[in-house]
Structure 1
Amino acid sequence: MLIYNTTFQVDDEVHDNFLIWIKECYIPEVQGHGTLKSPRICKILSHRDEGNAYSLQWEVDNSGLLHRWHMEQGAKLNEELTRVFADKVIGFPTLMEVVE
C-alpha cells in the first residue's frame, strides 16, 4: 500500500476558505473517483508565524492506479486549486510506501 500525501502551504487570508473547499469540494470529488481512499487532513505544526500548512493523505493500492487517477482527475483538480486560490495556496505531493 502507498500513501499519497500533498502538503499545502496556505496564506492566512484564504485559510478558512481553503479548509471549506478541501473538505466540501476536493475530498468528495476525489472519493467519487474511487481510486484514492481513507483521506486524512493533518495540520502541520510549525514555529512560523505566517500562514498555515496542511497535509492531505490518501491510501492508494499502487502507483499505476495513482497515475491513472492523476491523468483522469488529479490534473483538473490542481488547475481548479490554482484558479480558486492563485498563489495563496501552494501544494506539493509526496508518495510514500507503508513498511509496517
Structure 2
Amino acid sequence: MILYNVTIIIEDSIHQKWLTWMQNIHIAQVMETGCFASNRMLKVLDSPNEGITYCIQYIADSMEKYDEYKENYSSALQADFPAEFANKFVSFRTLMEFIDAR
C-alpha cells in the first residue's frame, strides 16, 4: 500500500474558506478518480511555521494506482485551486510505502 501525503501551510486569513473547500470539494474530487482507497485529513498541532498546517493523506492499494493518479489527474486537480487561495499557501508532497500495516 502507498500513502500519498500532501502537507499544506495555509495563511490564517483564508484558512476557514480553504478548509471548507477542501472538505466539501477537493478531497471528494481526488477520491472520485478511483485511484485511492481511503483518505484522512490531519491538522499539525506543533508546526513551527506561520499559518496553519494540514496533512491530507490518500491511501492507494498499489503503486500502479498512484501512478494512474499522477499521470491522469494530479495536474488538473492541483491547478483547480480557487484563485482566491493563490500565493496564500505552500505545499509539498511525500510518497511513502507501508512496511508493516496492522
With normalisation by structure 2, the TM-score equals 0.87
In structure 2, C-alpha distance between the alignment counterparts of 1:84 and 1:67, rounded to whole Å = 30
Q: Does 1:18 align with 2:49?
A: no
**Distance change >3 Å, CA 71–CA 83, structure 1 → 2:** farther
2:81 partner letter = L
Number of matched residues? Answer: 100
In structure 1, C-alpha distance between the alignment counterparts of 2:54 and 2:40, rounded to whole Å = 10
Structure 1 residues without counterparts, runs of 5 or longer: none
More displaced 10-residue stretch of structure 1: 84-93 or 2-11: 84-93
1:96 partner letter = M
Residue 51 (structure 1) aligns with:
51
1:1-100 to structure 2, matched below 5 A, reads 1-46=1-46, 48=48, 50-81=50-81, 83-100=83-100
Deviation, 1:76, is 0.8
Deviation, 1:14, is 0.8
Deviation digits for residues 17-61 of structure 1 (CA, Å, limit 9, x no counterpart): 111111111111111111112110000122547310000001112
The 3-state SS of whatever aligns with 1:71 is helix
In structure 2, C-alpha distance between the alignment counterparts of 1:22 and 1:35, rounded to whole Å = 18
**Distance change >3 Å, CA 47–CA 29, structure 1 → 2:** closer
Structure 2 residues without counterparts, runs of 5 or longer: none
In structure 2, C-alpha distance between the alignment counterparts of 1:61 and 1:30, rounded to whole Å = 15
Identity across the alignment (%): 29
In structure 1, C-alpha distance between the alignment counterparts of 2:49 and 2:34, rounded to whole Å = 37
